[in-house]
Amino acid sequence: MSTVAAEANEGRAAPIKVLFVEDEALIRISTADFLQDAGMGVVEAGTAGEALGLASEQPVDILVTDVHLPDMTGLQLTIKLRAQFPDLPVIFATGDRNVEGAEGLSRSGLVTKPYDYDSLVSLIRSMVSAG
């Protein structure tokens, strides 16, 4: 297990709850497993529509989303979720170098695919603790 995963949830009463949206099943499963091994709670969705439904049913601390989803973009999903949860931090996961239209978006980060799991965990922790 990595050192980042071994440092799970230091200083937090409850695990970080991640809404992880990825349409590629293998990436979604392997990333969710790693985040869980790092001590995080993970709510998985394969589409933006599914993510919207899940976010309305249970609280989440951060959104980690693919940019290119089958039913809308990760940016469109973020805008919809932020209408309900204005302070929700977001990490865009993409093979692109930037997310068109998200340049001025507050509390947002970017990881490029293929991403390093330890870096993703560190970024999630830093963004949630900054809130």
Domain CATH for 91: 3.40.50.2300
Two structure tokens written together for 21: 């949206």
Gap between the Cα atoms of 69 and 66, Å rounded: 6
Instruction: List pLDDT tens digits, range 68-123.
Output: 999 999 999 999 999 999 999 999 999 888 888 898 899 999 999 998 999 999 99
Buried b (16+ CB within 10 A) or exposed e, 64-86: bbbbebeebbbbebbebbbeeee
Confirm whether 100 is domain-assigned.
yes
CA dihedral 109, 114, 118, 120 (to 10 degrees): 20
Q: Taking 60 as the threshold, does the pLDDT of residue 3 lie above it?
A: no
Provide DSSP, 12-65: -SS--EEEEE-SSHHHHHHHHHHHHHTT-EEEEESSHHHHHHHHHHS--SEEEE
> pLDDT at position 13, please?
65
Confirm whether 4 is domain-assigned.
no
Confirm whether 2 is domain-assigned.
no
Q: Which residue segment(s) compose the domain that 22 sits in? A: 15-129
Task: Quote the DSSP letter at residue 115.
Answer: P
Total count of domains within the chain: 1
Gap between the Cα atoms of 4 and 35, Å rounded: 10
Confirm whether 6 is domain-assigned.
no
- Check if the beta carbon of residue 5 is closer than 8 Å to that of residue 35: no
Q: Taking 80 as the threshold, does the pLDDT of residue 8 lie above it?
A: no
> pLDDT at position 97, please?
84
